[in-house]
Structures are given as structure tokens and as C-alpha cells.
């Protein structure tokens, strides 16, 4: 549990540095130690009994808890304004464990169309084995959302912003509709980070993260997280103990360290991406830019109302074909060609070659993945250097 009073009283950078860490230490080390242990020992059987009967709070076995990852969980509670958080081995593990924990057999699920590909794959290949039916709706279409609701509908799941078109879901409005029908709202907030949007404050029941991205922030770890009320987290925590997708103490430590600069990093990601997006939009060799901070984006108004910043990812179409777009991407010298986002290094990718290369062209088109689409995940480099690099690379188009 976190201290919600303090979480409200301090700013995001103070929260980044101090959240979750101070109260539990025995060694007086200033930083939270890496508890590199798979199990915890009991002094005698009476201590074990006290623990088993719930009279003594302590650790038992590494799959059920570790003090290093609990510090991260407390910090994430303060960031998101939740009562409890759970860490996972990856963002995918957060999503799959959550779905398995919260969806009864035969339940109905509503998701939005612009969605992380592996999440979509889990829904279509694995949840169907539990007779779970799914309706896919356009992001930001509340009429379609209401029309899709059935009496078996248990969850509404969406990213916000989505990938790669950065659609922003009006979470307060979605929660109002969902809650009127007893449906829980789960938001994958990976692209926002809790600095740009706190979905729980807007009525979401659960927030998921690929902590691999902004939360870790340095392209050096894989982790996932879920944050919400104690009530919704309880079955998820139970499920992670059974399914076993736990993080390790060393990754948890790296994540804890990364989180201390989350607020500072997001400031730079936000401002870099806004400058890059505006510059790209005015460039004659760019056909279209998707960035929620631009007034041309379909969800600009919702984003302005709901978010404190728009994140570091900019998607755009080069005014060329596949080969011309490849020449541009290969001509960039600063960003790495790599999947992922949210780290200090800028990354660039063409979804057609990266996440969707094995998807038939027709299906790809249905997802709106064109040959000239580029996703640029701004790092924290100097904005003038990024723009200069993009500019010289566009000369080869
Ligand atoms: C990366 C990502 C995931 C998956 O997270 P991993 O940590 O790579 O397992 C899920 N959702 C979104 C929106 C992502 O960007």
C-alpha cells in the first residue's frame, strides 16, 4: 500500500525520487537493495505459523514477493494514484495474466482496433480457448462501444494512446458508459506514462504498463505492471503467483532507478516529440503526421483535456513508396532501427517491416499499416540534433 496523502501533496519529481522507498529499510542503505534471493528463511516454526495465520507480514518465497520489487510496486502506486500494484516479467505478461485473472469462462471482451499486435494475438489465439468472445471497436467511438455491450461483457480494454496511430481514448466517458453496465475498464497506459495521464483518476479500474518502455526508460530491462484498487489487484496477484511470470530483483532495481527520473525524462520526450511532429508536418516530403499534440490529430481535443503531455512517439507517412521510405530510415544516423520506445535513445521503425512483416498485405491494410508509415520514438537527445538528422535523411527520398 502507498501513502495516498503524501502522493497528492508532492510534485511528480519528488514522487519519482522518494515514492515508496523510505519506510521499510533495516540496513539504512539510502537506495533500496537488490534482494538477490529465491527464498526467505524462518527462525522457527512458530514464526512460520504467525506468517501463515496472517499475524506477521514478511516474505516467504521469491515467486510471491521480494522487497526490491515491492518498493517498485509502492512507487508505481504513488505515480498512478492506485492502492496496489503488481510487477510482472514483461508488459505482455501483465496483459495476459490480467485477462486470465479477470475474465470468467465464456465472458465477452470489448477492445479497440489500434492495438499492440501480441495483445491482439493473445485475445484471438488463447482467450478463444476459454470461449471468450471479443468485439473490436474503433477507438473514440462511444456509440459503437455502447452498441457492442452484451450481458456477458466483463471488460473494456484499450491502449491510450494507441499504437501506432496514437488515438486517445476519452477514459472518463468510457468509464461512465462501462460502469453503468457493470463493466470494468482496463487501460494500457504504456504510451502515456503516469506523468502524461493518470487513468485511474479518470475512472479506469486498472492501468497496465509495459515498464520496458518509459517506466524503465533506458532500453535495458523488460518488465510489466498493473495498478488499481486492492480489490481488483487481489485476483491478479494471486494469478501471477500461479502463472509465475514474476520479474527478477535485478530488473526491479533497474526499474526503481529508472523511475527516479521519469518526470524529467518525460518532459524531454514530450517536448522533443512536439517539436519533431510540428517540423515533420510542415515538411513537403511528409504526407501525414499522427501526434495527439497537433490540432490535425483526430483526438487532439480529448488529448488536450485529458493529458499533461503527449508522449515521445510520432507516427508519420513519408510521401514515397516502400523503397523511398527505406532510404529515409536507413539515412537516419541518430535513431537506432529497433522496435520499442520510451528509452533515452531515439528509435525508428517501419511497422510494415518490423511488427507486421509476416502479416498478409490485406490484413495489414485493414490495420492501416501502409508501406510508407514510420514510427519515430523520440529519445532525450537535443531536439535540434534530431531534426537536423531527420532533415538530412529526407534528402534521400
Ligand atoms: C511494448 C508494449 C507491450 C508489451 O510489453 P513487453 O514489455 O514488450 O512485453 C504491450 N503494450 C504496449 C502498448 C506496448 O508498447
pLDDT tens-digit series, residues 141-192: 889 999 999 999 999 999 999 999 999 999 999 999 999 999 999 999 999 9
Q: Is 46 exposed, middle or buried (0-12, 13-18, 19+ CB in 10 A)?
A: exposed
DSSP-based three-state secondary structure for 231: helix
Burial 349-370 (b: 16+ CB within 10 A, else e): bbbbebbbeebeeeebeebebb
Residue whose CA is at the smallest distance from ligand 1 atom 8: 91
Q: Is the CB of 114 under 6 A from ligand 1?
A: no
Q: Is the CB of 306 under 6 A from ligand 1?
A: no
Bridge partner list, 184: 155
Fold topology of 4-259: 3.40.640
Confidence of residue 137 (pLDDT cuts 50, 70, 90): very high
CB 6 within 8 A of CB 78: yes
Q: Is the CB of 90 under 6 A from ligand 1?
A: yes
For residue 49, the CA-to-ligand 1 centroid distance in Å is 40
CB-based contacts of 96, cutoff 8 Å, min separation 6:
122, 126, 243, 245
Q: How far apart are the first and last CA of the chain?
A: 53
Q: Is the CB of 210 under 6 A from ligand 1?
A: yes
Q: Is 324 exposed, middle or buried (0-12, 13-18, 19+ CB in 10 A)?
A: middle
More confident residue, 19 or 271: 271
Distance, C-alpha 82 to centroid of its chain: 15
pLDDT at residue 9, as a whole number: 82
Of 63, 118, 257, 288, which residue is the catalytic one?
63
Q: Is the CB of 342 under 6 A from ligand 1?
A: no
Q: In percent, how much of the chain has pLDDT > 90?
A: 86
The alpha helices in the chain, defined as continuous H runs, are: 4-9, 12-18, 45-52, 67-80, 91-102, 117-125, 142-148, 171-180, 193-196, 230-243, 249-259, 262-281, 300-306, 322-331, 361-366, 383-394
Q: At what angle do helices 117-125 and 91-102 cross, to 10 degrees?
A: 30
Active site residue 188: yes
Single pTM value for the model: 0.94
Q: Match 483526430 to its residue by C-alpha cell.
A: 298
Q: Is the CB of 116 under 6 A from ligand 1?
A: yes
- Three-state helix/strand/coil letters over 245-256: CCCCHHHHHHHH
Confidence of residue 23 (pLDDT cuts 50, 70, 90): low
Atom of ligand 1 nearest to the CA of 211: 7
DSSP-based three-state secondary structure for 188: strand
For residue 285, the CA-to-ligand 1 centroid distance in Å is 31
Is the predicted pLDDT of residue 26 greater than 80, yes or no?
A: no
> Strand pairing of 184-188 and 133-137?
unpaired
Confidence of residue 140 (pLDDT cuts 50, 70, 90): confident
Average pLDDT over residues 299-319: 98
pLDDT at residue 316, as a whole number: 98
The answer regarding whether domain 263-394 maps to CATH 3.90.1150.10 reads: yes
Residue whose CA is at the smallest distance from ligand 1 atom 2: 210
Is the predicted pLDDT of residue 1 greater than 80, yes or no?
A: no
Q: Is the CB of 16 under 6 A from ligand 1?
A: no
Instruction: Return the best residue to mutate from 116, 207, 221 for the ligand 1 pocket (most ligand atoms within 8 A of CB).
Output: 116
CB-based contacts of 103, cutoff 8 Å, min separation 6:
109, 127, 130, 132, 154, 155
Q: Is the CB of 212 under 6 A from ligand 1?
A: yes
Of 114, 170, 188, 371, which residue is the catalytic one?
188
Count other C-beta atoms under 10 Å from residue 338's C-beta.
15
Instruction: Return the best residue to mutate from 157, 159, 160, 190 for the ligand 1 pocket (most ligand atoms within 8 A of CB).
Output: 190
Residue 340 parent element (H or E): none
pLDDT at residue 222, as a whole number: 98
pLDDT at residue 13, as a whole number: 83
Query: Hey, what long-range contacts does 63-69 have (CB within 8 A, 24 or more apart)?
Result: 63/241, 63/244, 63/246, 64/241, 66/35, 66/37, 66/249, 66/252, 67/24, 67/32, 67/33, 67/35, 68/32, 68/33, 68/34, 68/35, 68/249, 68/252, 68/253, 68/256, 69/246, 69/247, 69/249, 69/252
Active site residue 116: yes
Confidence of residue 18 (pLDDT cuts 50, 70, 90): confident
More confident residue, 369 or 82: 82
In which residue ranges of the chain is CATH 3.40.640.10 found? 4-259
Is the predicted pLDDT of residue 25 greater than 90, yes or no?
A: no
For residue 116, the CA-to-ligand 1 centroid distance in Å is 7
Confidence of residue 4 (pLDDT cuts 50, 70, 90): low
In which residue ranges of the chain is CATH 3.90.1150.10 found? 263-394
CB 77 within 8 A of CB 228: no
Task: For residue 391, give the C-alpha cell.
Answer: 532533415
For residue 114, the CA-to-ligand 1 centroid distance in Å is 13
- Residues 216-273 pLDDT 10s: 999 999 999 999 999 999 999 999 999 999 999 999 999 999 999 999 999 999 999 9
Q: Match 532507478 to its residue by C-alpha cell.
A: 257
Residue whose CA is at the smallest distance from ligand 1 atom 5: 91
CB-based contacts of 363, cutoff 8 Å, min separation 6:
none
Residue 346 parent element (H or E): none
For residue 47, the CA-to-ligand 1 centroid distance in Å is 40
Confidence of residue 29 (pLDDT cuts 50, 70, 90): confident
Number of alpha carbons in the 13 Å side-chain half-sphere of residue 375: 25
- Residues 56-108 pLDDT 10s: 999 999 999 999 999 999 999 999 999 999 999 999 999 999 999 999 999 99
Is the predicted pLDDT of residue 353 greater than 70, yes or no?
A: yes
Bridge partner list, 153: 108
Amino acid at each position: 500500500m502507498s501513502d495516498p496523502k503524501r502522493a497528492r501533496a508532492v510534485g511528480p519529481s519528488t514522487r519519482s525520487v522518494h515514492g515508496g522507498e523510505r519506510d521499510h529499510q533495516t540496513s539504512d542503505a539510502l537506495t533500496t537493495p537488490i534482494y538477490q534471493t529465491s527464498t526467505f528463511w524462518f527462525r522457527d516454526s512458530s514464526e512460520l505459523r504467525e506468517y501463515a495465520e496472517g499475524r506477521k507480514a514478511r516474505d516467504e518465497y521469491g515467486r510471491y514477493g521480494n522487497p526490491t520489487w515491492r518498493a517498485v510496486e509502492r512507487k508505481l502506486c504513488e505515480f498512478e494514484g492506485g492502492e496496489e500494484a503488481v510487477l510482472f516479467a514483461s508488459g505482455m505478461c501483465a496483459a495476459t495474466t490480467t485477462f486470465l485473472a479477470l475474465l470468467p469462462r465464456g465472458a465477452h471482451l470489448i477492445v479497440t482496433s489500434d492495438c499492440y499486435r501480441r495483445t491482439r494475438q493473445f485475445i484471438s489465439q488463447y482467450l478463444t480457448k476459454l470461449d471468450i468472445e471479443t468485439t473490436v471497436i474503433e477507438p473514440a467511438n462511444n456509440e459503437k462501444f455502447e452498441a457492442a455491450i452484451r450481458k456477458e461483457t466483463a471488460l473494456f480494454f484499450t491502449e491510450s494512446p494507441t499504437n501506432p496511430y496514437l488515438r486517445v481514448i476519452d477514459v472518463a466517458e468510457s468509464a461512465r458508459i462501462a460502469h453503468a453496465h457493470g463493466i470494468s475498464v482496463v487501460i494500457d497506459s504504456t504510451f502515456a506514462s503516469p506523468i502524461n495521464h493518470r487513468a485511474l483518476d479518470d475512472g479506469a479500474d486498472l492501468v497496465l504498463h509495459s515498464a520496458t518502455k518509459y517506466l524503465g526508460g533506458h532500453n535495458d530491462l523488460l518488465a510489466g505492471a498493473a495498478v488499481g484498487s486492492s480489490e481488483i489487484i487481489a485476483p491478479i496477484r494471486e494469478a501471477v503467483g500461479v502463472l509465475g511470470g514474476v520479474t527478477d530483483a535485478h530488473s526491479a532495481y533497474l526499474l526503481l532507478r529508472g523511475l527516479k527520473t521519469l518526470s524529467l525524462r518525460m518532459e524531454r520526450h514530450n517536448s522533443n516529440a512536439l517539436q519533431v511532429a510540428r517540423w515533420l508536418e510542415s515538411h513537403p516530403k511528409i504526407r501525414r503526421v499522427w501526434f495527439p499534440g497537433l490540432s490535425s490529430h483526430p483526438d487532439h481535443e480529448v488529448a488536450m483535456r485529458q493529458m499533461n503531455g503527449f508522449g515521445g512517439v510520432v507516427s508519420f507517412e513519408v510521401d514515397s513508396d516502400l523503397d523511398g521510405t527505406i532510404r529515409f530510415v536507413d539515412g537516419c544516423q541518430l535513431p537506432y532501427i529497433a522496435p520499442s520506445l520510451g528509452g533515452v535513445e531515439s528509435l525508428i521503425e517501419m511497422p510494415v517491416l518490423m511488427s507486421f512483416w509476416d502479416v498478409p498485405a490485406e490484413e495489414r491494410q485493414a490495420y492501416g499499416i501502409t508501406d510508407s508509415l514510420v514510427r519515430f520514438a523520440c529519445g532525450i537527445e537535443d531536439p535540434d540534433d534530431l531534426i537536423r538528422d531527420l532533415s538530412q535523411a529526407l534528402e534521400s527520398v
